[in-house]
Amino acid sequence: MTKSLISLAFEKAKKEKRPALLSYTVAGDTSFQKSVEILISISKNVDIVEIGFPHSTPIADGGQIQTSSHRSLKNGFKMNHIFQIVKKYKKIENSKPVILMGYYNMIYQYNENKFLKSCKNSGVDGVIVVDLPWPENRKFAKKCKTKNICFVQLLSPTTSNLRLRKIIKDSHEMCYYISMLSTTGGKLKVSPNNIMKNYFKIKKIKINKNLVNGFGITTNTISGLKRADGLVCGSQICKEITNSFQKRQNPVTNVSKLVYNLKRKII
Amino acid sequence: MKIKKKIPLIDQHDKYGFWGGKFGGSFIPETLKKPVEDLEELFNKLRYQKKFLNERDFYFKNWVGSPTPLIKLGNLTKHLGGAQIWAKVVSEANGGAHKIYNATIHCLIAKKSKKKYIIGDTGAGYAGKMLSMAAKKFGLKCKIFMGAKDIVRQQPNVKAIKKNGAEVIPVYSGSQTLVDAVSECMRFWVANCDTTAMCVGSTVGPAIFVRICGWSTSQISRELKVQLIEEFGSIPKKLKLYNCVGGGSSSFGFWNEFMDYDKKQVEFIGVEAGGPKKSKKHAAPLTYGSKIGILHGAAQYVNQNSDGQIDETESISAGLDYPGVSPLHCFLKNTKRARYTAASDEDALEAYKLVTKYENLNPSLEPSHAFAEAIKTAPKLSKDTIIIVNSCGDAKKDRDIIKKRLGKII
């Protein structure tokens, strides 16, 4: 079997002795066109791009991502747009893996099968569903697998040891560790050392599983976490987009600079 | 899809918490999985413990003030002709609404789990007021999340919450009403679930919260059953129970003990908020055939667009101003055990006017929706039909709206 783009991205980072860098941006923020331009401009410094589909009632997102989502919805975001964005991006960055992230109601209304078909057609490599935990997600995860799309299981500091083992057993090529009890974009309330201690506890369960850290990762905290397989930065990027928007500056150049700085701190 | 007899409705879900295979469930972030499971385990244990039940009954009786009165509305009955109209005056409960039952139980559970903080959402402000009262009573620190729009329109309850020593957190996102307050409250819980207990203010949210709330408000129908037998010698042959439905906690509690009766004998009528007559927006997903979607951790009928974005609602009544509805009511609708309809803002105000004109009763705008439907139907029914309306809230909190709309000072 050929290796997935997600696996290849982790392999490449490992060869370069650094964690993979994952970005998170909201589709359609600040506009359809701008969100594509942002993705293209940060591409050379990230290994995997996560694109969020905005939801009106997010129950796990902090202020920054809420603001980005709100802006996108106000601009008239529709589910179809996200696949057009991926298509446009993949035309230019054919080998960069793309993971979609969002809430289950959007997938449910779009229809699971139709959603996966659109994912496949546009070139999506993985999916994260914030509010579809294990074991409820087993059926959908299996459907993803048959389409060669990675269903990314989430793990958290509250996940029990037994549960960790069961989830990892059912997981695909990548898992996502939520580093602390927080919505996205919270201040790091646990020391990077403690996060990494938990991280390696999980990593030990299955050493060759790609495990990324997310939540609270910024230019200030990222270097303390660089022993992880991958690191996700989302809220700081969304915040940068908001700041640029408010100052009437170009978010593309500003976000590009920010991502460059993130990358610099982990090599 | 069928309701089973002799099993409490709150327990008729499958292993993932779905009623009828498709309503409810627990669509929650991984972080909340453990706290939700812990809560489930504790609740399933406590509800069969004699000691806990005694504690519940003690506080319901001596602090909440059970039973709340069942009164005949003689003048209104005479004016309308037709069915006898009665009211179960749940607003006589401590604090002025049924929300006290769920708040008390959540605080008792929080104490057992050794949590020091409790948080809750509120729309009309009653759930918040009662939670702040109960938190004070049981020595818990309390935060109440409330939409900024609701803070303006329900000032009397906001003041009461603050007086009880709780912090009111205004929510400015989205429509700035109940739906956003619940989201913000859940987000806070995600970040603080290690030290903090969460109380969802109605029979909504992840399955465990639906069950706890339904179990708590069922006190209303337990009392009503006893009162009916005292009054009529047995359960009347033609009984109709009218209740407003927002999230659905008071109506579920008002009906639960009568679930196994044939609907020809005991009929359930749920009245949703139809919103202003001129507006297309409403808060009546059951009446207007909204599609199933996921809101606040549960699958339910919910007002949404084709993409799955939750629609904004509109209603004069903050307590009913919610785009979704309890999975229990979705189940009751699909099994046809209950019937649902909507009353507009104007209907509710008219009903309020009529009830307060003829009776010494001051129902808030939420139960005024139920009164509107009862008033409309009563004249067409026989004199041996007993209509009971759950007057589940007091209008003191609505005094500004009523003054503005009816020029009436209460």
Q: Nearest CA of chain B to the CA of A65: how many Å? A: 12
On whether both B144 and B240 belong to a single domain, the answer is no
Check residue B174 and give its pLDDT: 80
Question: In the listed set B196, B214, B232, which residue is the last one of a domain according to the structure?
Answer: B214
A57 with B179: Cβ contact below 8 A? yes
**Residue B287 dihedral angles phi and psi, to the nearest 5°:** -70, -45
Eight-state DSSP code of residue B304: B
The torsion of the CA quartet A3, A4, A7, A13, rounded to 10 degrees, works out to 100
CATH of the domain at B302: 3.40.50.1100
Q: Which residue of B has its CA nearest to A110?
A: B307
Strand ranges inside B54-187, DSSP E? 70-72, 84-88, 117-122, 141-147, 167-171
Share of residues in chain B with pLDDT > 90 (%): 96
Q: How much is the average pLDDT of B250-277?
A: 98
Check residue A191 and give its pLDDT: 93
Share of residues in chain A with pLDDT > 90 (%): 96
On whether both B373 and B326 belong to a single domain, the answer is yes
On whether both B196 and B288 belong to a single domain, the answer is no
Is the pLDDT score of B167 beyond 70? yes
Is the pLDDT score of A145 beyond 70? yes
User: How many whole angstroms separate alpha carbon B245 and alpha carbon B263?
Assistant: 19
Q: Which residues pair with B168 in a beta bridge?
A: B144
A160 with B295: Cβ contact below 8 A? no
Q: Nearest CA of chain B to the CA of A47: how many Å? A: 25
Residues of A219-233 as b/e, b for ≥16 C-beta within 10 angstroms? eebbeebbebbbbbb
Residue B189's Cβ-side half-sphere holds a number of Cα atoms within 13 Å equal to 31
Structure token digits, residue A15: 């060869």
Contact in structure between B270 and B366 (CB atoms under 8 Å): no
Residue type, position A226, single letter: K
Using CB atoms, pick whichever of B26, B31, B173 lies closest to residue A66: B173
Using CB atoms, pick whichever of A61, A131, A163 lies closest to residue B297: A131
Q: How much is the average pLDDT of B291-297?
A: 97
On whether both B225 and B337 belong to a single domain, the answer is yes
Average pLDDT score, chain A: 96
Which residue, B377, B255, B386, B335, is CA-closest to B23? B335
On whether both B194 and B283 belong to a single domain, the answer is no
Contact in structure between A81 and A28 (CB atoms under 8 Å): yes
**A141 touching chain B per CB within 8 A:** no
Q: Does B11 reside within a domain?
A: no
pLDDT by residue (tens digit) across B172-192? 988 888 999 999 999 999 999
Average pLDDT score, chain B: 96
On whether both B257 and B365 belong to a single domain, the answer is yes
Residues of A91-116 as b/e, b for ≥16 C-beta within 10 angstroms? eebeebbbbbbbbbbbbbbbeeeebb
Is the pLDDT score of B98 beyond 80? yes
Question: In the listed set B174, B195, B214, which residue is the last one of a domain according to the structure?
Answer: B214
Is the pLDDT score of B248 beyond 80? yes
Q: Does B363 reside within a domain?
A: yes
User: How many whole angstroms separate alpha carbon B8 and alpha carbon B12?
Assistant: 7
Range of the domain at B350: 66-96+220-406
Q: Does B336 reside within a domain?
A: yes
Q: Nearest CA of chain A to the CA of B10: how many Å? A: 20
Contact in structure between B297 and B186 (CB atoms under 8 Å): yes
Which residue, A145, A163, A143, is CA-closest to A154? A163
What residues of chain A, 1 to 60, have a C-beta less than 8 Å from chain B? 55-60
**B294 touching chain A per CB within 8 A:** yes
**Residue A174 dihedral angles phi and psi, to the nearest 5°:** -145, 140
Contacts of B309 in chain A (CB under 8 A): 55-56, 73
On whether both B206 and B249 belong to a single domain, the answer is no
On whether both B259 and B278 belong to a single domain, the answer is yes
For helices B99-112 and B30-46, angle between their N-to-C axes, nearest 10 degrees: 100
On whether both B229 and B131 belong to a single domain, the answer is no
pLDDT by residue (tens digit) across A203-259? 999 999 999 999 999 999 999 999 999 999 999 999 999 999 999 999 999 999 999
Q: Does B305 reside within a domain?
A: yes
User: How many whole angstroms separate alpha carbon B29 and alpha carbon A214?
Assistant: 14
Catalytic machinery residues of A: 50, 61
Residue type, position A257, single letter: K
Which residue, B87, B70, B77, B88, is CA-closest to B383? B77
pLDDT by residue (tens digit) across A90-132? 999 999 999 999 999 999 999 999 999 999 999 999 999 999 9
On whether both B241 and B353 belong to a single domain, the answer is yes
pLDDT by residue (tens digit) across B57-70? 999 999 999 999 99
On whether both B92 and B105 belong to a single domain, the answer is no
**A106 touching chain B per CB within 8 A:** yes
A108 with B35: Cβ contact below 8 A? no
Which residue, A10, A94, A29, A52, is CA-closest to A234? A52
Check residue A140 and give its pLDDT: 98
A158 with B297: Cβ contact below 8 A? no
Is the pLDDT score of B391 beyond 90? yes
Structure token digits, residue B265: 């004998």
Check residue B410 and give its pLDDT: 67
Q: Nearest CA of chain A to the CA of B307: how many Å? A: 6
- Superfamily of A5-264 according to CATH: Aldolase class I (3.20.20.70)
Q: Which residue of A has its CA nearest to B34?
A: A158
Cβ atoms within 10 A of the Cβ of B116, count?
Answer: 12
In the structure, what pLDDT confidence band is assigned to residue A187 with cuts at 50, 70 and 90? Answer: confident
Q: Which residues pair with B117 in a beta bridge?
A: B141, B196
On whether both B56 and B103 belong to a single domain, the answer is yes
Q: Does B321 reside within a domain?
A: yes
Comparing A120-124, B218-222, B311-315, B350-354, which segment has the lowest mean pLDDT?
B311-315
User: How many whole angstroms separate alpha carbon A72 and alpha carbon A248?
Assistant: 17
| Residues across chain B | 410
Check residue B402 and give its pLDDT: 94
User: How many whole angstroms separate alpha carbon B369 and alpha carbon B348?
Assistant: 5
Question: In the listed set B189, B214, B239, which residue is the last one of a domain according to the structure?
Answer: B214
Q: For residue A77, what is the enclosing H or E element?
A: none
| Residues 6+ away with beta carbon under 8 Å from A82 | A27, A28, A51, A53, A100
Cβ atoms within 10 A of the Cβ of B112, count?
Answer: 16
Cβ atoms within 10 A of the Cβ of B35, count?
Answer: 23
User: How many whole angstroms separate alpha carbon A242 and alpha carbon B197?
Assistant: 33
Check residue A1 and give its pLDDT: 62
Using CB atoms, pick whichever of B180, B183, B308 lies closest to residue A106: B308
Q: Nearest CA of chain B to the CA of A39: how many Å? A: 24
Check residue B111 and give its pLDDT: 97
β-strand pairing of B70-72 with B84-88: antiparallel
**Residue A255 dihedral angles phi and psi, to the nearest 5°:** -65, -40
User: How many whole angstroms separate alpha carbon B178 and alpha carbon A97?
Assistant: 39
Contacts of B192 in chain A (CB under 8 A): 181
Comparing A102-106, B150-154, B214-218, which segment has the lowest mean pLDDT?
B150-154
**B27 touching chain A per CB within 8 A:** yes
DSSP conformation letters of B121-155: EESSSHHHHHHHHHHHHTT-EEEEEEEHHHHHHTH
Using CB atoms, pick whichever of B25, B33, B183 lies closest to residue A59: B183
B307 with A108: Cβ contact below 8 A? no
Check residue A189 and give its pLDDT: 87
**A96 touching chain B per CB within 8 A:** no
Q: How much is the average pLDDT of A31-51?
A: 97
pLDDT by residue (tens digit) across B324-355? 999 999 999 999 999 999 999 999 999 999 99
pLDDT by residue (tens digit) across B111-128? 999 999 999 999 889 999
Contacts of A58 in chain B (CB under 8 A): 183, 187
Is the pLDDT score of B197 beyond 80? yes
Contact in structure between B79 and B374 (CB atoms under 8 Å): no
